[in-house]
């Protein structure tokens, strides 16, 4: 296969990640390539306090760093200059490329293409059917590379950020629209609405589970014991049909995360009251950063969010490769 050929023929080149050997260099490479981007979002590159000098056995216990294990690196004279991380999902036929990192001094040399070729072969060997990835929308070189390799563009998701101290409520002219707590019996309807409002392959890293909005007693206890906070509101029409959802998810020490979903037939009409509901609730919560990841092509939200003092941090293009095993 491709990986075996390259690894055996050259002293330098492509090989699988060796967690015990590669940890320190991987951390430095990822911080170099992605560190400023993550800091701009208000999130650390790694949540763990472990650093590049951390022994490998401690790395294996860390859930964030352990996600670096599956994948490949490109080595030049003993130095790791590129990395691709491949992650499985709940669907055994679906894999994610979590990052493609190439040191600035080694770009435009075909290394990223070879890394992605190794990913394709690895996924096929595992019986995978599709590979998904995210890439910064302005990175036209990478998007062109992936397109030439067969990836299709699914859409774009924008990350918006503000803080509890800066966010401001919007003037609300939505007379007669009532935002209320999500009825716990409507969790199936909430899931179906989410599916209509957003392509499920735009959820990252996994597609939404059918019980994502089900807040039964066990779920509420789990959320409480883990120091989390989760609350969803809804909007019904005159026929008691569910047409809008707004959710706040919080976790100790991390940014408040928001989501907002509107039925396609009601888009442009319900976003303002839903967003205002979230803002009013946030003003009673700990003063942390706020993140909202939303469809970048939603013109209504693109207008409302700056008015509420949100700033767009980045936009990611989601791409998918459907694999066909040429040996069959």
Last residue of a domain, one of 128, 146, 181: 128
Q: Are residues 192 and 65 in the same domain?
A: no
Look at residue 61 in the predicted model and tell me its pLDDT.
40
Q: Are residues 185 and 294 in the same domain?
A: yes
Q: Are residues 186 and 228 in the same domain?
A: yes
> 195 lies in a domain?
yes
Count of other CB atoms within 10 angstroms of residue 56: 13
Q: Go through 123-146 and write b for each residue having 16 or more CB atoms within 10 A of its CB, e for each that does not.
A: bbeeebbbbbbbbebeeeebbebb
Indicate if the pLDDT at residue 293 is higher than 80.
yes
Q: Are residues 248 and 291 in the same domain?
A: yes
DSSP 258: E
Last residue of a domain, one of 107, 128, 149: 128
pLDDT band at 35 (very low <50, low <70, confident <90, very high): confident
> 136 lies in a domain?
no
Indicate if the pLDDT at residue 112 is higher than 60.
yes
Q: Are residues 200 and 243 in the same domain?
A: yes
> 151 lies in a domain?
no
Report the distance separating Cα 90 and Cα 31, nearest Å.
28
Pairing mode of beta strands 94-102, 130-136: parallel
Look at residue 10 in the predicted model and tell me its pLDDT.
44
Q: Are residues 196 and 90 in the same domain?
A: no
Q: Are residues 164 and 311 in the same domain?
A: yes
Q: Are residues 208 and 310 in the same domain?
A: yes
What CATH number is associated with residue 237? Answer: 3.40.630.30
User: Which tokens hold the place of 25?
Assistant: 């260099």
Find the helix packing angle between 111-125 and 140-148, rounded to 10°: 40
Which residues on neighbouring strands pair with residue 259, listed in sequence order?
A: 247
Q: How many domains does the chain have?
A: 2
> 98 lies in a domain?
yes
> 145 lies in a domain?
no
> 309 lies in a domain?
yes
Report the distance separating Cα 28 and Cα 67, nearest Å.
15
The boundaries of the domain holding residue 30 are 2-128
**Neighbour-count burial of 232, counting CB atoms closer than 10 A to its CB (0-12 exposed, 13-18 middle, 19+ buried):** buried
> 78 lies in a domain?
yes
Secondary structure class of 272 (helix, strand, coil): helix
Look at residue 279 in the predicted model and tell me its pLDDT.
96
Indicate if the pLDDT at residue 48 is higher than 60.
no
The beta strands (E) that lie in 253-322 are given as 256-262, 289-295, 311-322
Q: Are residues 103 and 24 in the same domain?
A: yes
- Smallest CA-to-CA distance from 191 within 178, 177, 203, 205 is with 203
pLDDT band at 96 (very low <50, low <70, confident <90, very high): very high
Look at residue 216 in the predicted model and tell me its pLDDT.
87
User: Which tokens hold the place of 205?
Assistant: 């890293």
Q: Are residues 211 and 299 in the same domain?
A: yes
The mean pLDDT value of the chain amounts to 85
Q: Are residues 67 and 206 in the same domain?
A: no
Q: Are residues 106 and 237 in the same domain?
A: no
> 287 lies in a domain?
yes
Q: Which tens digit of pLDDT belongs to each residue from 125-181? A: 999 999 999 999 999 999 999 999 999 999 999 999 999 999 999 998 777 889 999
């Amino acid at each position: 296969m491709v990986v075996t050929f390259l690894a055996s023929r050259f002293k330098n080149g492509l090989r699988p990640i060796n967690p015990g050997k590669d940890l320190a260099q991987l951390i430095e490479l990822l911080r170099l390539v992605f560190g400023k981007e993550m800091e701009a979002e208000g999130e650390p590159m790694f949540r763990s306090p472990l650093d590049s000098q951390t022994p490998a056995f401690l790395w294996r216990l860390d859930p964030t760093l352990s996600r670096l294990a599956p994948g490949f690196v490109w080595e030049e004279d003993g130095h790791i200059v590129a990395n691709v991380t491949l992650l499985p999902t709940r669907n055994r036929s679906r894999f994610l490329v979590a990052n493609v990192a190439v040191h600035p001094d080694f770009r435009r040399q075909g290394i990223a293409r070879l890394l992605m070729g190794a990913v394709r072969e690895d996924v096929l060997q595992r019986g995978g059917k599709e590979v998904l990835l995210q890439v910064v929308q302005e990175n036209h070189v990478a998007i062109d590379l992936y397109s030439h390799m067969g990836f299709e563009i699914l859409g774009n998701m924008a990350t918006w950020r503000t803080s509890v101290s800066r966010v401001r409520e919007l003037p609300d002219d939505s007379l007669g629209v009532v935002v209320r707590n999500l009825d716990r019996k409507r969790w199936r309807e909430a899931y179906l609405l989410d599916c209509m409002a957003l392509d499920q392959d735009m959820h990252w890293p996994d597609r939404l589970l059918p019980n994502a909005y089900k807040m039964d007693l066990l779920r509420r206890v789990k959320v409480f014991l883990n120091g989390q906070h989760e609350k969803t509101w809804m909007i019904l029409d005159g026929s008691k049909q569910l047409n809008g959802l707004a959710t706040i998810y919080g976790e100790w020490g991390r940014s408040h995360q928001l989501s907002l979903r509107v039925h396609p037939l009601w888009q442009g009409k319900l976003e303002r009251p839903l967003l205002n509901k979230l803002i009013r609730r946030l003003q009673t919560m700990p003063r942390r950063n706020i993140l909202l990841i939303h469809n970048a092509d939603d013109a209504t939200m693109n207008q409302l969010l700056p008015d509420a003092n949100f700033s767009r941090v980045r936009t990611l293009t989601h791409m998918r490769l459907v694999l066909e095993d040429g040996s069959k």
